[in-house]
Amino acid sequence: MRWPEKLPTDPAKPQFIVVGPGAIATDLVAGFPRLLRAGPEASELKLIRPDGYIGFVGTASDRSAAETYLQTLVR
């Protein structure tokens, strides 16, 4: 599934967008500041890849799974 909003193309800015509950999204951005930027608040947790496709979908309780996904990207 592709994300409907236009994504930033500046390579100096974070490439992924985190959409989800406010506190969780804020914490993920703080933990991965070079990789993420905050998107709109939502009940589901989603990580939108640079190509606009959704790379991760989960509930708010899936935060640790989202962190594991992100850690595989920064290795």
pLDDT digits (tens, 9 = 90+) for 2-40: 776 666 566 667 689 999 999 999 999 999 998 998 888
User: Which pLDDT belongs to residue 13?
Assistant: 72
Which tens digit of pLDDT belongs to each residue from 58-69? 998 999 999 999
- Tell whether 22 is covered by a domain: yes
Task: Name the packing angle between helices 63-73 and 22-31 (round to 10°).
Answer: 30
Lateral strand order in the sheet of 36-41: 36-41, 16-20, 45-48, 54-58
Q: Which tokens in the block code for residue 68?
A: 């594991």
Domain span holding position 45: 16-73
Work out the average pLDDT over 66-73: 94
The number of distinct structural domains making up the chain is 1
pTM of the shown model: 0.84
Helix (H, G, I), strand (E, B) or coil at 19: strand
